[in-house]
Amino acid sequence: MGKDLKGKELGTGISQRKNGLYTGRFTRSDGERVQKYFSKLKDCREWIAEAQYNDAHNSLRHLEDITVDAWYHYWMSEVKAPTIRPSTKKSYDCVYDKHIKPYIGKYLVKEVRPIHCQQLLNVMAKDGLKISTMRDVRTRMYSLFSYAVENLIIQRNPVTKSVTCQAGAPSKDLDALSLEEQKRFIIALNNFSLRETYSDQFKHLLQTGLRCGELVALTWSDVDFTKRIIHVTKTIKNFPSDEKEDETKRKSQWIISEPKTKAGRRDIPMTEEAYMILIRQRERWKKRKVLSLEFGNYVFLSENGIPISNSTYNSVLKKLCKQFRLRSISPHMLRHTFATRCIEAGMNPKTLQAILGHSSIKMTLDLYVHVTQDHIQKEMSEVQNKLKVV
């Protein structure tokens, strides 16, 4: 039992150094010794208590007493991670850390009941989260606990049929822009204060149907100016890192990966506008003063020479829509609009499927080809003429 500088007993595993710092020491059940220094005795005692608890409940040798946190990390590293892309793993981790861990992470797996899972979803609903996000969390909880059932840690999955996502904000409408809205959007881009940095990116999404991550990942080696083809070979996504820039802000990291499916790796012929956008971008790129070694070959970069995150693109679009009084527009809506214009122009759905990078024609038709009211009116006018008998 350690003592402080005045000889007072501090408790097992705690002592005070001559410089005033408190030392916490702990020997784990596997024999490894760990220690940490603290300026406050209270923090040192809390660390010791948490270390002892985690050691007792985070070991696979005592599955009956394992916590949800420990079980998730084992399930992810040993079961899920080998079968998914690094970016998908990061996505799983972000969902767990943000929505699941704060509410049931410290529970023992065997302690979790349906009511706990329902309360977690209810909190998400009260916070105004989308119903699709809630369903995603429910699905991941179900998979996590299903594996616990398979390993006889629990008898039944606590995510039962009665655990539902009945509330929550509806998912945003992804209707394509009408032709009039598209014109107003282009005019707004041309008059936007940030047009030099962002205008061509948004126009390029509208001309190619690229996903935002595919646009950000585009490198000059992916562009064939001679044949006027864009080779989609990868995607990139920004995630918070485990490291911190300071006490309040985490660093971010870019994870580059291949498209999720074979169909995602594709060639997209350029429209004349898409071609001219890349010509302009190449001229700007040659004049750049800041180019990082890591991202120097990327087509679209920020003024600091690094990629632009999806959240930044969303924020910029939000600002533009507010300034020019447009309805809310997201990068994905521009892809949606591209697909709708293609169908309206008479493109074969199978051709559109290949351009969008969908693995099935059903996905193309169900998710993206929503014919606009303008097109319905045009089609009905043509039918009207055919129906005339006099």
Let me know if 335 is exposed, middle or buried by CB neighbors in 10 A (0-12, 13-18, 19+). Answer: buried
**For 33-59, what is the mean pLDDT?**
81
Instruction: Choose which CATH entry (3.30.1450, 3.10.350, 1.10.8, 3.30.160) describes domain 2-57.
Output: 3.30.160
Instruction: Choose which CATH entry (3.40.50.970, 1.20.120.160, 1.10.1060.10, 1.10.150.130) describes domain 64-150.
Output: 1.10.150.130
**What average pLDDT does the chain have?**
86
Distance of alpha carbon 337 from alpha carbon 186, whole angstroms: 13
Question: Looking at the chain, which runs of residues are DSSP E strands?
Answer: 2-3, 9-11, 14-16, 22-27, 33-38, 223-224, 229-232, 235-244, 250-257, 266-269
Q: Is the pLDDT of residue 369 over 70?
A: no
* Location of each CATH 1.10.150.130 domain in the chain: 64-150
Fold of 179-379: hpI Integrase; Chain A (1.10.443)
With a pLDDT cut of 70, the percent of the chain lying above it is: 86
* Location of each CATH 3.30.160 domain in the chain: 2-57
Separation in Å, CA 389 to CA 379, 380, 382, 385: 18, 16, 14, 9
272-276, 279-283, 305-309, range with the lowest pLDDT: 305-309
Q: What integer pLDDT is reported at residue 252 of this predicted model?
A: 73
Q: What integer pLDDT is reported at residue 61 of this predicted model?
A: 65
pLDDT band at 388 (very low <50, low <70, confident <90, very high): low
Supply the DSSP symbol for 109: G
Q: Is the pLDDT of residue 377 over 70?
A: no
Q: What is the tens place of the pLDDT at every residue in 127-153?
A: 888 888 999 999 999 999 999 999 999
Q: Using the CB atoms, write b or e for 240-279: b if 16+ within 10 Å.
A: beeeeeeeeeeeeebbebebbeeebebebebeeebbebbe
Structure pTM? 0.68
Q: What is the tens place of the pLDDT at every residue in 230-250?
A: 999 999 988 776 555 544 455
